[in-house]
Chain A
Amino acid sequence: MKKTRILSILTASALVSMVVVGIPSAAHAAGPQCDGKSPINSCQGATSDTAPYVMQVPANFNGTLVLYSHGYRPNVPVPAGIPGYGGYTVTNTPQPGPLVGGKDTSVIAYLLGHGYAVAGSGFARQGWNADSAIATDVELIGAFKTQFPATKHVVAWGESLGGFITQGLAEKYPTLIDAVAPMCVADNVAAELTMAGDFLWGVKTLFDPTIKGGNYSAGAAGYAEAMGDLVKFFTVMGKLQAGISSGAWPDTSSATGKALATAGIPSRSALLLLGLMSGIPTQSAHFDSISGPDGALKVTFPLAVSPALAILENGANAGALAILALQDVENQSGGAIFDNTKTDYAARVTNERVIFNAALSGNTAIDGLLGALSPLNPGAPRASGNAAAIAKMNSLQANTGKINVPTITMVGVADPITPVGSSVRIAQAFADQYAGEKAKAYSDYAKSHEYNAPKKNLLSLWSTTPAAYTTFTSAGAPITSTPAAPGTNHCNFTAAQYLVVADELVQAGQTGSFLGGGTLAFMVRKAKNLSTDPFFNAPLLKFYE
């Protein structure tokens, strides 16, 4: 296999949602200042926590507000030169709606054009901010209603951490919200950081033990440690990519890693195992784990190489998230929060070791890798968390998945940051909730002879990958310069997909019901790479195993 370029692989996806509307970031605890223009009346202001917000209200406002919550933005700047995030500066610029491809405002324009008002906050702090963000959103809704008394309905949507905030808003304040759409929704903080932390711990343990991997110092020293980790992490990922074909291990590998290399286990198998035990998808922006180049590698490539390349692409996101979010949440919690002292990684890959057996180089190699990562190996020290810090982290907003208002979820089936399992968890919780409500309806019927069927208040949309999408040069090298395939990368939705959610969201907010049947089928078909398969299933995040 030809070498591919490290930077093309490691160019991270849209973890950071940027803003295109020109709203000043200065924050004041003050009511909205509106420009009174037509056809769009634009207002700016700040909630009492100093979070800046923006409201945009069309002249033909129909009474429905669509409130948006943006995704995770690191709460520290990232120095230029670091792959993926280099040059990022912390911003609290408000964002009133999703941006297609990170910049296209057509979805916002669509809503405004149809008489819906939009609003969004930049939030008072960045990083993992669900608790404060929910409070900010509640205050923003009040401010909007005060400013625009004609408001009849409020619906909310958000992406990634913003999806989590949106779901949390509906769970805590169902009377404030008529419908919600958590998109590419993040799971609870412990589940998310377990996934990212497991991968980072594995990379550190096998490939570069000088990575600190959490338990960062307080203050400036901790920031420097985290930035140092980012550099080391991306450097070792580059070395792993260079060794994908040969199986060579990075020169920075630990003694444990070097022993595995000596045993003949290729580094790509080790990398794949780390991804599988962490729950990282085995399809990525450019690697479908299905296609192979014509010729001798037609089957070998998808069977033995492509899954590892997918983990490399996706793992770049997961590892970076681990470093940035761990440092943030550790600061909030007062100590180390990642703890894998009791994690049984072998149990986590019971199915995966069969399915990816060839890519993992067989049972003997798998057992060797798992043995090397076991707590019994002093060369692979586990990470111990601080009990008080973990307790504090666990006291942060945690969503149960309870559906209080009509809810639409949408997620890419191979999202590497907020895996599809987060949305599956909501679907499973609702299935239980619905079963309970149905049983109660039967029970009530027995008493009253009036059967009131419970409402199916959840619409799950799955952004699917194409049947096959890895492409190759005439020499057989995989091409990684093409746009990320649908269903992959983080919150990688098309305008058409967003519009399906938007139409369903406002419909549900106004009527309490979804557009269903043929209408929904037509919308989904038109949007492409979208499924409403009621039986779609995927594993929950490994944290729950």
Chain B
Amino acid sequence: MIEINRRKLLVASAVLATGGLVLSTVPAQAFSPHSEVGVTNSSIKLGVTLPMTGAASPGYNKLPSAMKAYFDYVNANGGVNGRQITLVVKDDQYVPTLAVAKTNELILKDKVFALLAPLGTANVKAVAASVNPGRRGIPTLFVNTGYSGFANKKAYPTTFTLLPSYIVEAKIIAQYISENFAGKKIGLLYQDDDFGSDALAGFKQAGLTFTVKVPYASGTQALPTVPPTWIQKLSAANVDVVILFGVSSATAAALGTAAVMKYAPKWILGSVGGDATTIKAVGVPAGVLYGATGASFLPATTDNADEYVKLFTTINAKYNNNAVFDNNVMVGMNTAYVAVQALAAAGKNLTRKGLIAAIEKSGAKFASAGLVPLNFSTTSHVGYSGYWFGTYGPSGDLKPNGGVYTVYTTDSGTGAVVKSTYKRPAMPADGLPTQS
């Protein structure tokens, strides 16, 4: 009886406090002091799973240290609303089932506030199906995969993408081909999973047809052993242009084998595979990239005139042991940069719901190094949606064609590919977000 009377008292208080009957606020627990998991007055704990060891790790294993470097820079400048950011890193070796186990650790043992930039389509999908951050209300920020499905807010309510989708990339590559290689015979090497199927959907949407398509099975991202058969198929089809829409190891294997077999079509590389760091790590000289066309949504890493490149280079020197400043470092720092924008926008009373709401409300206006706009809104969890094209130099650096970033943008649906008129806003002072 005592328990019932106490409840009645609390309920009566609730009515008085709100000045009216708001049924959803009736339960007594509404009066409990609230503290969000992974957040204290002085800290915010984030977590990431990605391959730190194993065949898939080269390149990707540079992302956490780059993210941490930017967080360290922010922390040294007062943090976000007075809170220092920590990043817990778990090695999933690019194995989906291991990503599930490691994400469970992050959530149940490390008790992170949010997941940041988990990597790999299959891994993120496995985590969504098993750990289900969406049901738990845990933000999954800026997944490191371009699979278009993750922007489906209904299926992944707490997930936000950052990379342009593979559909967007394929549509833009198709546009580039129509402008530069009209009438030529086109070949395609692609990964035979959702990564590749997304690309196929984009090429189909854009109306690009192929003389030959060569799928390869996804795997560990170790250097494949069968590229001669790929090259033989491409060569036999006598194509003029070959799109390599695969991971870096497959790209390296294809280019390396083609060089040995003296097969030299015009190569166009997808953004995932055209990474010199990874290609070198699997034992193939980065020079195989020389002359190929590639795509990016961030400024070129060699563009020292770009204020973000300057900032990130400085941070890299001070907080990241002056690691080789490649696109992985750029992506890592930019991801952390956008994450800090989001955390700041969520305000001092940081909650998971508040963070998601802040990205939906203000995310489209977040400053970032991206040369294409962010598309966050209450109805869209889509990040970037565009690319510029460039040519790889002898050391594997990608520079914009003609020295100018000509950015194309589109969506993952039926929208047309257009040249972007987006003007990137000026970087906030010292590259630090405005605190709320």
Residues in A lying within 8 Å of B, measured CB to CB: 282-283, 288-290, 298-300, 302-304, 307, 351, 354-358, 361-365, 442, 445-446, 449-453, 467-468, 531, 533, 535, 537-539
A356–B194 Cα distance when bound, in Å, is 11
B423 on the A face (CB < 8 A): no
> What sequence of 0s and 1s flags, for each residue 66-102 of chain B, a beta carbon within 8 Å of any chain A beta carbon?
0000000000000000000000000001111110010
B110 on the A face (CB < 8 A): no
Chain B residues whose C-beta falls within 8 Å of the C-beta of A539 in the assembled complex: 129
- Are B220 and A351 interface neighbours, CB within 8 A? no
Chain B residues whose C-beta falls within 8 Å of the C-beta of A361 in the assembled complex: 217
- Are A362 and B8 interface neighbours, CB within 8 A? no
- Are A452 and B97 interface neighbours, CB within 8 A? no
Given contacts A361-B217, A363-B215, A538-B130, contact A302 B97 (CB under 8 A): yes
CB neighbors of A among B1-52 (8 A): 4, 7-8, 11-12, 21, 23, 26-27
A357–B218 Cα distance when bound, in Å, is 7
- Are A450 and B219 interface neighbours, CB within 8 A? no
B307 on the A face (CB < 8 A): no
Chain B residues whose C-beta falls within 8 Å of the C-beta of A535 in the assembled complex: 132, 135-136
Given contacts A299-B94, A442-B26, contact A290 B129 (CB under 8 A): no
A298–B98 Cα distance when bound, in Å, is 12
Interface-lining segment among B120-128, B340-348, B380-388: B120-128
Given contacts A299-B94, A451-B8, contact A354 B130 (CB under 8 A): no
Give the distance to chain B from A303, nearest Cβ to Cβ, in Å: 5
Number of chain B residues close to chain A: CB under 8 A: 42
- Are A358 and B97 interface neighbours, CB within 8 A? no
A467–B109 Cα distance when bound, in Å, is 12
A361–B216 Cα distance when bound, in Å, is 9
Chain A residues whose C-beta falls within 8 Å of the C-beta of B122 in the assembled complex: 354-358
- Are B93 and A351 interface neighbours, CB within 8 A? no
Residue of A nearest to B126 (CB): A355
A395–B220 Cα distance when bound, in Å, is 49
Interface centre among A450, A451, A453, A531 (most CB of B within 10 A): A451
- Are B23 and A300 interface neighbours, CB within 8 A? no
A497–B425 Cα distance when bound, in Å, is 58
A452–B129 Cα distance when bound, in Å, is 36
Q: Specify the main secondary structure of chain B where it touches its partner.
A: helix
B364 on the A face (CB < 8 A): no
- Are B193 and A354 interface neighbours, CB within 8 A? yes
Give the distance to chain A from B252, nearest Cβ to Cβ, in Å: 18
Q: Which of A282, A289, A365, A533 contacts B108 (CB 8 A)?
A: A533
Q: Which of A446, A449, A467 contacts B23 (CB 8 A)?
A: A446
CB neighbors of A among B191-239 (8 A): 192-194, 196-197, 215-220, 222
- Are A300 and B215 interface neighbours, CB within 8 A? no
- Are B219 and A304 interface neighbours, CB within 8 A? yes
- Are A453 and B27 interface neighbours, CB within 8 A? yes
Residue of B nearest to A269 (CB): B217
Question: Mind listing 14 A-B residue pairs with CB under 8 Å?
Answer: A282-B97, A298-B93, A303-B219, A354-B121, A355-B97, A357-B218, A363-B215, A445-B26, A452-B7, A467-B105, A535-B132, A535-B135, A538-B130, A539-B129
B357 on the A face (CB < 8 A): no
A303–B217 Cα distance when bound, in Å, is 12
A531–B96 Cα distance when bound, in Å, is 22
Q: Which of A290, A298, A354, A452 contacts B194 (CB 8 A)?
A: A354
Q: Which of A362, A468, A533 contacts B215 (CB 8 A)?
A: A362
Q: Which of A299, A362, A446 contacts B192 (CB 8 A)?
A: A362
A299–B135 Cα distance when bound, in Å, is 30
Top 8 nearest A-B pairs (CB, nearest first) are A362-B192, A362-B217, A355-B126, A357-B193, A289-B97, A451-B11, A299-B220, A299-B54
Given contacts A351-B125, A533-B108, contact A299 B95 (CB under 8 A): yes
B311 on the A face (CB < 8 A): no
10 more A-B contacts (CB under 8 A) besides A298-B54, A302-B93, A351-B129? A307-B97, A351-B125, A358-B122, A358-B218, A358-B220, A361-B217, A362-B217, A363-B192, A363-B215, A445-B11
- Are A537 and B135 interface neighbours, CB within 8 A? yes
- Are B8 and A290 interface neighbours, CB within 8 A? no
Chain A residues whose C-beta falls within 8 Å of the C-beta of B121 in the assembled complex: 354
Q: Which of A299, A304, A453 contacts B7 (CB 8 A)?
A: A453
Chain A residues whose C-beta falls within 8 Å of the C-beta of B12 in the assembled complex: 449
Interface centre among B27, B121, B129 (most CB of A within 10 A): B129
Residue of A nearest to B193 (CB): A357
B55 on the A face (CB < 8 A): yes
- Are B21 and A446 interface neighbours, CB within 8 A? yes
Residue of A nearest to B133 (CB): A535
- Are B98 and A290 interface neighbours, CB within 8 A? yes
